[in-house]
Amino acid sequence: MKAPKKLRIALDAMGGDYAPGREIAGAVEALQASHMQFEIVLVGDEQVIRHQLALQKAEHLPFTVAHASQIITMADSPTVALKQKKDSSLAVGMHLHKEGKVDACVSAGNTGAVLSAATLILGRIKHVSRPMIGAFIPAEHGTCLLVDAGANVDCRAQHLYEFAVMGSIYVELLKNKERPSIALLNVGEERLKGTEAVLEAYKLLSSSKYNFIGNVEGSDILKSKADIVVCDGFLGNIVLKFGESVPSFLKNKLRKFSARGIINKLAVSMALWPLKVSLRDMDPNEEGGVPVLGVNGVTIIGHGNSTAKGIKNMILRAVEVAQSQVNQKIEAALAEKGF
Amino acid sequence: MKAPKKLRIALDAMGGDYAPGREIAGAVEALQASHMQFEIVLVGDEQVIRHQLALQKAEHLPFTVAHASQIITMADSPTVALKQKKDSSLAVGMHLHKEGKVDACVSAGNTGAVLSAATLILGRIKHVSRPMIGAFIPAEHGTCLLVDAGANVDCRAQHLYEFAVMGSIYVELLKNKERPSIALLNVGEERLKGTEAVLEAYKLLSSSKYNFIGNVEGSDILKSKADIVVCDGFLGNIVLKFGESVPSFLKNKLRKFSARGIINKLAVSMALWPLKVSLRDMDPNEEGGVPVLGVNGVTIIGHGNSTAKGIKNMILRAVEVAQSQVNQKIEAALAEKGF
């Protein structure tokens, strides 16, 4: 009997604010956590990577290095960078995936560039009009998948419908949730509220076979009213970033309170433990990153300032997605409804 | 010498989830806090109001009652309700304002209905295309005025420009802030990001005399990057409601943590004091309500579940606005730039 082929994940070792140190630390953690059940291809400057592997005493682990001479930085314009830096770690990693040499390509680098690279190099899944980003937002009961979380500024009803279908399949397979609930993000629960695109998407989803529960408001996301919340990428990006800024806002408020006196300081020090535990879900490192959905492949985008744990979780999530049938199911589902 | 005429504020005594009890309690607090420097006209069912005044031993205070036989509920459709309930407390109060019998009309009732009543009955200020709602969001340093917070679902660049101008004048006069900073809410700080309306509004604001600082992202609102954040009412409503849901999300998380054992419970009880103080700014009752800007008059919309303190602050804010030159300044400012 032949052993099943080990999965191979390409990691953009030069993406992220603290690359390649944290990238490689996270990759080591991922391999150790999974007992080496897959291989990692580290993409980037070979000399720098080998040096880091030596520093972290990780040369014995199942790493391959794919050399890339250039780096796309956070300040680069995504489309310009992809044209000019053909030998960037991101482009090289994505091409390895396109050529079938790896089963996924993950990066904590420039979000726009990763999204563009995935879309341009891997291409779209058949029947998908626009790839998008899904982001898990912590909610009272589990998480809520926000789609689109930032890929598409202007969206028509058809796009919103496709985001809903892709999100539903992703949550069903990756969070093991049967018939997850889908809602449109709107300014009221009434059917006749919202922009033209949202009104039209409401009709499309109502007559679909998916578990569409109607509109939800901004206050319903954290209340876990729906498993998947659908909106255009302009709104999604702003809501996502607003939410991510809450913990540091709170920290600053507590710091000010603490500065008012010794008793205040003591009270805050007592408050830190329950707060830390309660806010743990709000740490993007727990999820590891946001998947790009709708492209012919598996890509997860990590936060630029991911910790090693964040990188580890990004890699482990990519392994899960690569083992799932997400893309085949998306293609089949969107083939059914012909626009 | 003639004493200056006392201001008169109409309060929709039947609006709000706990009307008229809380409305009247708040009105009493407002009069006491200001040493009776203005008068309040309570609008609603006279018998019910007189009964409440007696219950609260407030008959001796400078209240006038204006009878209205109908009530617009939270479940009513705003436009339908305004057509069918001509003798609602809201419509009667707004007509008193229109006729110059009061200097402001405030309500913690159905937000959409208050907005529609203000727009339809009071009419727009000259040169204003669309009245809108401004909402103060607590930020690291003071508050940030979000405009439009929910009045207009679809907005063109001209509307965004007008929101910015109205917001700037409001903050300058009501928060005593000279040349407050204005930013467009966007998915990135770069000039060329965003929807068509936002790109065009960027140009209009750049060439204006206002203190326009460019784009800010969702994460910049709580960081106090700008005094006024401009967006369409669809986005604004969703961001506002998302933000308002954060404290109860946090409370629920802490409750769950607390339930895990006696030590956890103790830690949470210690955490409550600093948290309560730190989150005080996030309580909408501190601000009292959101102003409707762009109408020929003074209207503040309170939260449906306002406390008496919330009602008090809504009334006091209306007094401040009525004493200011907000509307005259808006008319003059928008007359300058002819679209």
Q: What is the mean pLDDT of residues B226-251?
A: 94
Rounded to the nearest 10 degrees, the angle between the axes of helix A308-323 and helix A21-33 is 50
Q: Which of B238, B287, B152 is nearest to A137 (CA)?
A: B238
Query: Does residue A278 fall inside a structural domain?
Result: no
The partner residue sitting opposite B273, judged by closest CB among A154, A222, A267, is A267
Report which DSSP code applies to A14: T
Query: Does residue A52 fall inside a structural domain?
Result: yes
Facing residues of B124 across strands?
A: B295
**Among B242, B255, B305, the residue to mutate for chain A (most A Cβ within 10 A):** B242
Residues in chain A closer than 8 A to B264 (CB atoms): 274
Q: How far apart are CA B186 and CA B194, in angstroms?
A: 6
What is the CB neighbour count within 10 angstroms for residue B280?
Answer: 13
In order along its 339 residues, chain A shows pLDDT tens digits of 555 689 999 999 999 899 999 999 999 999 999 888 999 999 999 999 999 999 999 999 989 999 999 999 988 988 899 999 999 999 999 999 999 999 999 999 999 999 999 999 999 999 999 999 999 999 998 899 999 999 999 999 999 999 999 999 999 999 999 999 999 999 988 887 889 999 999 999 999 999 999 999 999 999 999 999 999 999 999 999 999 999 889 888 888 888 888 888 888 888 888 888 877 777 778 888 999 999 999 999 999 889 999 999 999 999 999 999 999 999 999 998 644
A238/B218 Cβ within 8 A: yes
- How far from B13 is each of A54, A116, A272, B117, B271, CA to CA, in Å? 74, 56, 43, 16, 37
For residue B70, the SS3 value is strand
B239/A218 Cβ within 8 A: yes
Amino acid in position A184: L
Domain that holds residue A8: 1-128+285-324
Mean pLDDT of the residues in chain B: 93
- Pinpoint the alpha helices (H) of chain B: 21-33, 46-55, 78-84, 89-98, 111-117, 157-174, 196-206, 233-244, 246-258, 262-279, 284-287, 308-323, 326-336
Rounded to the nearest 10 degrees, the angle between the axes of helix A233-244 and helix B233-244 is 30
Facing residues of B7 across strands?
A: B38
pLDDT of residue B199: 95
Query: Does residue B43 fall inside a structural domain?
Result: yes
Compare all CA atoms of chain A with the CA of B258 and give the residue at the minimum distance: A274
CA quadruple B72, B75, B78, B84: dihedral sign = negative
Q: How far apart are CA B182 and CA B240, in angstroms?
A: 18
**Among A140, A190, A219, the residue to mutate for chain B (most B Cβ within 10 A):** A219
Look at residue B336 and tell me whether its pLDDT is greater than 90. Answer: no
Cβ–Cβ < 8 Å for A13, A20: yes
Q: Which of B30, B112, B44 is nearest to B319 (CA)?
A: B30
Look at residue B141 and tell me whether its pLDDT is greater than 60. Answer: yes
Determine phi and psi for A124, rounding to 5 degrees.
-85, 150
Query: Does residue A214 fall inside a structural domain?
Result: no
ipTM of the complex in this document: 0.91
* Residue A58's CATH number: 3.40.718.10
Query: Does residue B3 fall inside a structural domain?
Result: yes
Residues in chain A closer than 8 A to B148 (CB atoms): none
Residue B7 CA, distance from chain mean position: 20
Facing residues of B132 across strands?
A: B293
Q: How far is A301 from chain B (nearest CA, A)?
A: 17
A196/B154 Cβ within 8 A: yes
Number of domains into which chain A is organized: 1
Query: Does residue B116 fall inside a structural domain?
Result: yes
For residue B54, the SS3 value is helix
Query: Does residue A216 fall inside a structural domain?
Result: no
Query: Does residue A147 fall inside a structural domain?
Result: no
**Global pTM?**
0.92
- How far from B48 is each of B52, B60, B306, B310, CA to CA, in Å? 6, 17, 20, 21
Q: Which of A160, A146, A166, A142 is nearest to A229 (CA)?
A: A146
pLDDT of residue A170: 97
Buried b / exposed e across A5-14, counting CB within 10 Å, b at 16+? eebbbbbbbb
B219/A241 Cβ within 8 A: yes
